Chain A
Amino acid sequence: MWKFFHQLASPPHFYRLAAVFSPWFALPGIALIAYGVYAGLFLAPMDYQQGDAFRIIYVHVPSAYLSLMAYMIMAISGGIGLIWRIKLSHAVAAAAAPLGAAFTFVALVTGSIWGRPMWGTWWEWGDPRLTSELILLFLYFGYMALRGAIDDTAKADKASAVLALVGVVNVVIVHFSVEWWSSLHQGQTLLKKGGPAMDPGMLYPLLAMILGFTFLFGSLLLRRVRTEVLFRERRTRWVREMVLSPEGS
């Protein structure tokens, strides 16, 4: 058991392992998303209030959940790297940041498109989730900007890990303060807490999409970490030997 984890932290081992695992994440991900898209767009019944417009949740909800998930992964692996000085976990944090920012962006765009028919406006400041999501996007930007500004990789890793950990504490505070703030300005949002029970015909495609997006994220993350590891280890012997060997990768 421990041997597995020790080996996992070694870059060449992880590089090979990630290549093996990446398709095993990608295939179920694609299958689930294909089912979710078809069932969500064609099979799921229309919402009696929102009509067909609700169908955007099949992209919006998984992206919003992954935007937070990616931030947690980034902060936790940054923390692990900071405490146990595992270089690989810094590579994971570096690889997760642009993915998380992309999902945050998708969640913002889809939320705003959904808001157009529902609220009659592209952007509703009164909605706490949209506002916290925007702040999350800015946190990602700050994180990536700090990484980009420091030339020394080891230093960039540690500095951005500190920032990510400070950010995690703040994400929670942002959430509650924005909720308090929006409650001052409007009585009730369309998305209620808990919400009405969902029709199974709507729910199962959503669950499939959430799971499918998670698999897809896992696969993309593994691929990104692979390239990140390859770039960081570009001066080591194992990379040079691998590149020069007849099999290539």
Chain B
Amino acid sequence: MNEYIAQQPGIFSGLWATARRDLLLAWKRPGDVLNPLFFFAMVCTLFPLAVGPSAAQLEFSGPGVLWVAALLATLLSLNSLFLGDFEDGSLDQLLVSPQPLPVLALGKTLAHWLTSGLPLVLVSPILAMTYRMPWSVVPVMMLTLVLGTISLSLLGSIGAALTVGLHRGTALLSLLILPLAMPVLLLGANTVSLAAGNDIYSTGIWALGAYAIASLSLAPYATAAALRISNE
């Protein structure tokens, strides 16, 4: 019996295998990664066009606009998190696998963050520059985006798991996830605003970190439960 257990691959190999597979798929289809990024950049372009190019206004609204755009771009990429696997049947393979499903779901979410959240964070300084954000604030913004997009990917994975296989899933997914994501947006954008106003911003960072840790430890279980329910 013990020998049998010893032969089983460990938890981390399951996590790594699902993450690696999704990363490979993303590598083969770079459009899936780039489209949300372009979307992010375009939403950031829309605002100055709509509200006018005045420097004071851009400086004031920059953190909020960047955060809203990041949230929407993450939402856009979430729809496909489980959809491909659902359509080609590999999701069923994950469900019957002896590996714990929450870990596999976490692996998929990790890959999602690496291909959607992380690129957003890396691109954000360029867009922040166009909004005249001071250079001292940019690291704070990137930190809030790192913590925030981790939470958003995890929260979103619950929504994606609940709506996988439903018609008109995209609009529904936004409807489910946006209210849940509001605290993240609120904490993230206001922390950056505080930093830009030379105010004390550490509260927001701690709260975002706490949110990210809480969702990291809880969301995979909810995602796994939701995947089991929507694939009965």
Tell me whether A and B are bound partners: yes
Chain A residues within 8 Å of B, Cβ to Cβ: 82, 135, 138-139, 141-142, 145-146, 149-150, 154-155, 158-159, 162-163, 165-167, 169-170, 173-174, 177-178, 180-181, 184
**Which residue of A142, A159, A178, A181 is within 8 Å of B179 (Cβ)?**
A142
Cα distance, A6 to B222, chains bound together (Å): 29
Cα distance, A230 to B230, chains bound together (Å): 25
Q: Are B186 and A149 in contact (CB under 8 A)?
A: no
Give the chain B neighbours of A159 by CB distance below 8 A: 162, 226, 229-230
Q: Give A152's nearest chain B residue, CB to CB.
A: B232
**Which residue of A170, A178, A181, A184 is within 8 Å of B180 (Cβ)?**
A170
B79 to chain A, nearest CB (A): 14
Give the chain A neighbours of B158 by CB distance below 8 A: 162-163, 166
**Which residue of B167, B172, B180, B187 is within 8 Å of A146 (Cβ)?**
B172
B22 to chain A, nearest CB (A): 23
Cα distance, A135 to B204, chains bound together (Å): 20
**Which residue of B172, B182, B190, B229 is within 8 Å of A149 (Cβ)?**
B172
Q: List 26 A-B contacts (CB under 8 A).
A: A82-B225, A138-B178, A141-B175, A142-B178, A145-B175, A145-B176, A146-B162, A146-B163, A158-B229, A159-B162, A159-B226, A159-B230, A162-B158, A166-B180, A170-B179, A170-B180, A173-B211, A174-B183, A177-B187, A177-B207, A178-B186, A180-B187, A180-B203, A180-B207, A184-B190, A184-B194
Q: Are A139 and B207 in contact (CB under 8 A)?
A: no
Chain B residues within 8 Å of A, Cβ to Cβ: 158, 162-163, 166-169, 172, 175-176, 178-180, 182-183, 186-187, 190, 194, 203-204, 207, 211, 218, 222, 225-226, 229-230, 232
Q: A-side binding surface: helix, strand, loop or mixed?
A: helix
Cα distance, A225 to B230, chains bound together (Å): 25
Q: Are A162 and B226 in contact (CB under 8 A)?
A: yes
Q: Contacts A158-B229, A163-B158 given; 12 further ones with Cβ under 8 A? A: A135-B179, A142-B179, A145-B172, A146-B172, A149-B166, A149-B167, A159-B162, A159-B230, A162-B162, A163-B176, A166-B222, A181-B186
Q: Are A181 and B222 in contact (CB under 8 A)?
A: no
Q: Give A165's nearest chain B residue, CB to CB.
A: B222
Give the chain B neighbours of A150 by CB distance below 8 A: 166
Give the chain B neighbours of A169 by CB distance below 8 A: 218
Q: Are B226 and A177 in contact (CB under 8 A)?
A: no
Give the chain B neighbours of A170 by CB distance below 8 A: 179-180, 183
Give the chain B neighbours of A141 by CB distance below 8 A: 175, 179
Give the chain A neighbours of B187 by CB distance below 8 A: 177, 180-181
Q: Are A162 and B207 in contact (CB under 8 A)?
A: no
A98 to chain B, nearest CB (A): 16
**Which residue of A149, A154, A162, A173 is within 8 Å of B183 (Cβ)?**
A173
A100 to chain B, nearest CB (A): 14
Cα distance, A50 to B207, chains bound together (Å): 37
Q: Are A162 and B180 in contact (CB under 8 A)?
A: no
